[in-house]
């Protein structure tokens, strides 16, 4: 199932950069964005995940994020998340970049995580940017307000917004320098995150994709491992002799 090139490379303690997307959390029960049961089939992104949506209907947007937090509160990381946390411990230069906002990598024990689309458990003031930890909001509740009077919003990247620049720059630097890049559980179509595997490949890294289906990245990848990441990642580590 795995090429000899990949297994040999893993044994040489390569510099590794990983990009994860919603598919990594699918086996934990978090819905993905696209595909048959994708979130964006049920909700229109521009009605929920934009500044305009928030300004015109903050109750609805906050209630939707609360609904997603409630889902996450009741689920656990899966073997894919745990395998990635294990990889961080086993390789001397390992960077995990995630587009997921669900905190499951952290819950699985990963420490060095570049969250390029923010984190749904965190909130911030729209006015002064002050971080606000956990928020529990029910429709009908009074809107939360910062002490400066600003509105409190989820600390996630909405459509039309810039990614946190320092975080993305670090991700880009790691993609630029790595020997081995994994693109896992992402449709690899939302930029600029989707540019990271391309950058890595252009700089000479070995590019591996793990996904249940082929994506737009597949033709560029050196190796496409088709299957659920929660099954493939532990198998890969075992085959490479990394204790799981």
* Catalytic site positions: 117
CA distance 84 to 188: 19
User: How far is residue 24 CA from its own chain's centroid?
Assistant: 8
Closer to ligand OAD at the Cβ: 45 or 238? 45
3 close to 240: Cβ distance less than 8 angstroms: no
Of 10, 17, 19, 27, the one binding ligand OAD (CB under 6 A) is 27
Q: Does 33 bind ligand OAD (CB under 6 A)?
A: yes
CA pseudo-torsion sign 160, 134, 113, 211: negative
Q: Does 38 bind ligand OAD (CB under 6 A)?
A: yes
Phi first, then psi: give them for residue 182, nearest 5 degrees: -115, 130
202: helix, strand or coil: helix
CB of 175 to ligand OAD, least distance (A): 16
Who's near 28: CB < 8 A, 6+ residues apart? 75, 76, 77, 78, 81, 104
Encoded one letter per residue, x for contact with ligand OAD by CB under 6 A and - for no contact, window 128-157 reads -----------------------------x
Q: Does 37 bind ligand OAD (CB under 6 A)?
A: no
Closer to ligand OAD at the Cβ: 34 or 235? 34
Which 183-222 residues touch ligand OAD, going by CB under 6 A? 185-187, 190, 210-213, 215
Closer to ligand OAD at the Cβ: 22 or 152? 22
Closer to ligand OAD at the Cβ: 15 or 34? 34
79-90 and 229-239 helices, crossing angle to 10°: 30
């Amino acid at each position: 199932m795995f090429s000899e090139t990949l297994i040999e490379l893993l044994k040489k303690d390569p510099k590794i950069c990983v990009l994860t997307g919603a598919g990594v959390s699918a086996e934990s029960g978090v819905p993905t964005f696209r595909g048959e049961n994708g979130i964006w089939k049920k909700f229109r992104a521009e009605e929920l995940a934009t500044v305009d949506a928030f300004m015109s209907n903050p109750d609805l947007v906050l209630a939707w994020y609360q609904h997603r937090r409630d889902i996450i509160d009741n689920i656990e990381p899966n073997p894919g998340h745990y395998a990635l946390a294990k990889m961080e411990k086993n390789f001397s230069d390992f960077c995990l970049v995630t587009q997921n906002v669900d905190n499951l990598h952290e819950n699985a024990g990963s420490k060095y995580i570049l969250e390029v689309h923010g984190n749904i458990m965190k909130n911030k003031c729209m006015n002064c940017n002050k971080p606000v930890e956990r928020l529990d909001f029910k429709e009908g509740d009074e809107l939360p307000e910062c002490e400066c009077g600003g509105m409190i919003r989820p600390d996630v990247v909405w459509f039309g917004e810039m990614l946190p620049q320092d975080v993305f720059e670090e991700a880009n630097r790691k993609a630029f320098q790595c020997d081995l890049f994994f693109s896992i559980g992402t449709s690899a179509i939302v930029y600029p995150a989707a540019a990271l595997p391309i950058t890595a490949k252009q700089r000479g890294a070995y590019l591996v994709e793990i996904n249940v289906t082929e994506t737009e990245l597949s033709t560029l990848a050196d190796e496409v491992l088709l299957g659920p990441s929660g099954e493939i990642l532990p198998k890969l580590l075992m085959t490479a002799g990394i204790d799981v």
